[in-house]
Amino acid sequence: MSWTLTVTDLNEYVRRSLAGDPMLQDVILRGEISNFKWHVSGHLYFSLKDEQSRIQCVMFRQHAERLRFTPADGMRVELRGSVSLYTAAGSYQFYAQGMTRDGLGELYIRFEELKKRLLAEGLFDVSLKKPLPVLPRMVGVVTSGTGAVIHDIARVAGRRNPGVQLVLRAAKVQGEGAAEDVAAGIAELSRVPGVDVIIIGRGGGSLEDLWAFNEETLVRAIVACPVPVISAVGHETDVTLADFAADVRAATPSAAAELAVQQRDALLSLLGELEARLFRAGLDQWTAGQQRVMALEKRLALVHPLTRARDCAARRTLLETRLTACAEAAISDRRARLLALSDKLSALGPRGALARGYLVALNDRGEAAASLDEVTEEMTLLLRDGRARVRTLSRERGEPFGGEAEIV
């Protein structure tokens, strides 16, 4: 007897069957977390795996909020929950209601041990990082030849600068031998003339999917590469040892292309701006030079022999004029003083006295008699308008203008 069912009917029947099986309720499930994602809604989505199998798991927000640690890829955990079917997708999964840590997975332990050893060796030192070229002519890419990575890189690079050439070295990026193949690709591209930077990358995945980029062989190949290497492995939350060893780590392959290839329009704009700044700087320098030349010419004109000779001649003329004026003023002053003294002397001298009605009596020795003892018998009287010869009749001593007199 056959049944005709819709897909929804079938999925719902299976869901009820699983929900009704007591063996699938309140199950403790142990395994290693892989492909972990903490959704913005607060729900947790991940896989739980062991050596042979895996199962999709989900933990809703109300249960995730009670966790005392942050789950991550590689962790070994114990889940408590039940098995059911997600009818919309027809996939069965484990619905976890609780989670406790059960140690770290083997790959995660290997990752941490190798990271610690290489870090101590100095392979991740910042001093080893090489700067990216500003204007690469050729960009090498080591990735899968059929994946979306090369198409994303080519699309971004072509949009930013169509003149940059991409060189693909197809390599195995997952599984056995992948690390060695990528390392060989890096070495090959570094020897290609014109390759200025190399991008290695692949899409996202679990810790085991990305394990090739945690291998020591690849880490040492990246450090030894003479050309700058950009690591673009997985998504932004994925971290590999290749990221630590690379000169620059990009969150995604598209971001790696943006880091490696500068935008042509922006470069042209910058070039135009630099050209304008260079022209302005040159013009400023020329103007400053002209002003300095003019200033030097003025200073040179001031110290030129002819200029200095003219200045000296002008100064000499000025000094001569001032000296002449000073001399004439001094002579005029001395002349005026001399005339004044001459007039004073004339007024105080004999002639002045004669002009005022006085006379001078000269004895026979020609001396002016100022006292009776100097009077001689014959005297000469000097008058205002001539002289007269007189004889002395007598001499009387006493006050000349009156009073008692004594005849001598």
Intervals of the chain under pLDDT 50: none
- The per-residue pLDDT for 208 is 78
Burial class (CB in 10 A: 0-12, 13-18, 19+), 280: exposed
Prediction pTM value: 0.52
- The per-residue pLDDT for 348 is 67
Side by side, the strands of the sheet bearing 195-202 are: 165-170, 138-143, 195-202, 229-233, 248-249
Q: How far is CA 244 from the centre of its chain?
A: 29
Q: Cα torsion for 63, 66, 72, 76, to the nearest 10°?
A: -90
Helices then strands, counting H and E runs in the chain, come out as 11, 15
SS3 of 110, please?
helix
Closest by CA position to 26, among listed 77, 102, 98: 98
- The per-residue pLDDT for 173 is 92
Distance CA 335, CA 21 (A): 150
Distance CA 360, CA 234 (A): 146
Distance CA 226, CA 165 (A): 19
SS3 of 25, please?
coil
- The per-residue pLDDT for 408 is 61
- Measured at the CA of 198, the angle between CA 194 and CA 199, to 5 degrees, comes to 145
- Packed helices 148-160 and 253-260: angle between N→C axes, nearest 10 degrees: 30
| CB proximity list for 34: less than 8 A, separation 6 or greater | 46, 47, 48, 49, 54, 73, 74, 206, 207, 208
- Whether residue 229 contacts residue 240, with contact meaning beta carbons closer than 8 Å, is answered with no
Distance CA 233, CA 242 (A): 8
- The per-residue pLDDT for 12 is 86
One-character DSSP codes across 310-343: HHHHHHHHHHHHHHHHHHHHHHHHHHHHHHHHHH
| CB proximity list for 114: less than 8 A, separation 6 or greater | 214, 216, 241
- The per-residue pLDDT for 362 is 86
Distance CA 11, CA 5 (A): 10
Q: Cα torsion for 45, 49, 55, 61, to the nearest 10°?
A: -20
- The per-residue pLDDT for 132 is 93
- The per-residue pLDDT for 299 is 79
320-340: b (≥16 Cβ within 10 Å) or e: eeeeeeeeeeeeeeeeeeeee
Length of the chain: 408
Distance CA 189, CA 198 (A): 7
Distance CA 151, CA 173 (A): 16
- The per-residue pLDDT for 318 is 87
CA distances from 113 to 32, 74, 303, 404 (A): 18, 14, 82, 156
Q: What is the pLDDT of residues 254-291, one digit of tens each?
A: 999 999 998 877 777 777 788 888 888 888 888 888 88
Distance CA 98, CA 89 (A): 24
Which residue type, as a one-letter code, is found at position 236? Answer: E
